[in-house]
């Protein structure tokens, strides 16, 4: 590969492979050739190649699976947001196997913002859960969700068993709920969030606030989801008013 005075060699490799993926030479989900083969193909050493591949992985263009190889990333998951939005059903309807991991849970006193979204007096006890969702080993979102503690006593234990908000709420007698509010903003993660989501600092995340209510219109859940922007697209259906910042 010829040197380019305007680009470092690894960057040139990155752009060439990106172009090949963009024009369909490598299909979504396809396993790429091994490092040694790619390095020989582009006329670079493995160190240079690895730097290019890491940059592509950080951008979500490829997925590196230790012990399995490098793969072209699947297309962004379309996530419909409607009055009846439910994360698990959305993933199942798209044949996406999503792993849910509860990172932490705590009983806290709701501050004015959280209490306002849940229609509670400030200081009321709520459960706060941090939940990580991954697809094919890659982070899809990191969410912080809140539930009124007095209404849902022991909610974290139930959620650990079900790994589903829908099934957990049903356990407490909430057979049906709907979306009252969805607010979306694109934000650059701070250092801590980027570390927890394994993202470069310059990659934007979709910051999604939501409130779900029961059949009587009483809030049962307030959440803040941070989605990796290039791995998911939000599709707003016309039946709900969405507030987009």
Which pLDDT band, with edges at 50, 70 and 90, does 4 fall under? very low
Verdict on whether the full-model pTM lies above 0.75: no
What average pLDDT does the structure give for the chain? Answer: 85
CB atoms within 10 A of CB 182: 20
Burial of 208 from C-beta contacts in 10 A (0-12 / 13-18 / 19+): buried
Our CA angle for 165, 170, 171, nearest 5°, is 100
Return d(Cα 30, Cα 44) in angstroms, integer. 22
DSSP codes, 136-155: TTEEEEEEEEEEETTTSTTH
And the tokens for 228?
Answer: 């990796």
Phi-psi region of 6 (alpha: psi -120 to 50; beta: other; left: phi over 0): alpha
Asked if pLDDT for residue 36 goes beyond 60, the answer is: yes
Asked if pLDDT for residue 51 goes beyond 70, the answer is: yes
pLDDT of residue 63: 85
- pLDDT tens-place string over residues 165-179: 999 999 999 999 999
Return d(Cα 51, Cα 149) in angstroms, integer. 48
- pLDDT tens-place string over residues 61-115: 888 887 889 988 776 676 677 666 656 555 555 556 678 899 999 999 999 999 9
The b/e string for 44-72 (b: 16+ C-beta within 10 A; e otherwise) is: beeebbbbbbebbbebbbbbbeeeeebbb
- pLDDT tens-place string over residues 170-228: 999 999 999 999 999 999 999 999 888 888 777 789 999 999 999 999 999 999 999 98
For 200, the 3-state DSSP assignment is: coil
And the tokens for 169?
Answer: 């709420």
What residues contact 187, with CB distance under 8 A and at least 6 apart?
204, 205, 207, 226
pLDDT of residue 148: 98
CB 64 within 8 A of CB 70: yes
The b/e string for 118-127 (b: 16+ C-beta within 10 A; e otherwise) is: bebeeeeebb
């Amino acid at each position: 590969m010829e040197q380019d005075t305007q680009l470092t060699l690894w960057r040139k490799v990155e752009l060439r492979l990106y172009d090949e993926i963009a024009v369909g030479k490598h299909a979504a989900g396809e396993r790429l050739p091994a490092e040694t083969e790619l390095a020989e193909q582009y006329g670079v050493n493995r160190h240079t190649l690895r730097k290019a591949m890491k940059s592509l992985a950080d951008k979500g263009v490829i997925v590196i699976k230790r012990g399995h190889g490098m793969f072209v990333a699947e297309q962004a998951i379309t996530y419909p947001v409607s009055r009846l939005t439910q994360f698990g059903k959305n993933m199942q309807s798209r044949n996406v196997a999503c792993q849910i991991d509860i990172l932490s849970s705590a009983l806290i006193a709701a501050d004015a913002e959280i209490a306002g979204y849940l229609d509670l007096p400030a200081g009321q006890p709520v459960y706060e859960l941090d939940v990580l969702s991954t697809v094919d080993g890659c982070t899809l979102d990191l969410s912080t969700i809140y539930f009124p503690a007095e209404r849902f006593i022991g909610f974290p234990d139930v959620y650990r068993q079900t790994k589903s908000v829908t099934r957990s709420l049903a356990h407490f007698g909430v057979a049906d709920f709907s979306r009252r509010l969805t607010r979306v903003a694109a934000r650059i993660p701070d250092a801590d969030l980027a570390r927890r989501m394994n993202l470069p600092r310059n990659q934007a995340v979709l910051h999604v606030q939501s409130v779900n209510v029961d059949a009587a219109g009483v809030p049962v859940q307030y959440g803040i989801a941070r989605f990796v922007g290039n791995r998911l697209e939000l599709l707003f259906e016309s039946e709900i008013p969405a507030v987009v910042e």
